[in-house]
């Protein structure tokens, strides 16, 4: 494969990856067209003005959370959001570096390394989200977990 074809392939791949990462990072917070919005264990970071997703705390009355549970869940969510903001900032920086390297016909190996690092960072966000959700589940009792599961599915608790 010629050098220019490789650069074109890398550029195309980078654009697709960038669009995917932006849609995943920013698109998740957009309101759903469903009657009952999808419930997540946390809210999106305030990277830019956006609609926040509902958290477990938005259903504290339905779940009958105790004050202690509310405080513990709030700490879990805040910890997740802090980590997510850090990772998102790293992703923005990597994206800028990738774009600059592409514009300047940078080394393919270096571009490849940065693209992989970008997607590794996205995987970190997903893993952190799963961990936060599991931590929250451990704070809830069995009845509350079942009610939350029904709320997430759009069923009546």
- Gap between the Cα atoms of 75 and 54, Å rounded: 16
**Integer angstrom CA distances of residue 106 from 32, 61, 110, 117:** 40, 55, 7, 16
Q: How many CB atoms lie within 10 A of CB 103?
A: 9
pTM: 0.61
- Residue 54: the pLDDT is 81
Beta strands in 6-140 (DSSP E): none
Per-domain boundaries in the chain: 3-153
Q: Per-residue pLDDT tens for 103-151? A: 999 899 999 999 999 999 999 999 999 999 999 999 999 999 999 999 8
Q: Which 3 state secondary structure label does DSSP give 139?
A: helix
């Amino acid at each position: 494969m010629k050098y220019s074809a490789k650069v074109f392939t890398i550029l195309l791949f980078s654009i697709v990856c960038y669009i995917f990462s932006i849609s995943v990072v920013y698109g998740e917070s957009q309101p759903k067209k469903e009657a009952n919005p999808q419930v997540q264990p946390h809210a999106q970071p305030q990277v830019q003005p956006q609609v926040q997703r509902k958290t477990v705390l938005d259903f504290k009355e339905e779940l009958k959370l105790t004050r202690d549970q509310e405080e513990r869940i709030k700490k879990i969510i805040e910890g997740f959001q802090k980590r997510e903001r850090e990772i998102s900032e790293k992703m923005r920086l990597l994206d800028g570096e990738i774009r600059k390297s592409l514009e300047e016909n940078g080394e393919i190996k270096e571009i490849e390394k940065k693209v992989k690092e970008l997607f590794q960072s996205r995987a970190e966000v997903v893993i952190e989200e799963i961990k936060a959700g599991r931590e929250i589940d451990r704070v809830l009792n069995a009845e509350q977990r079942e009610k939350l599961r029904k709320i997430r599915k759009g069923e009546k608790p």
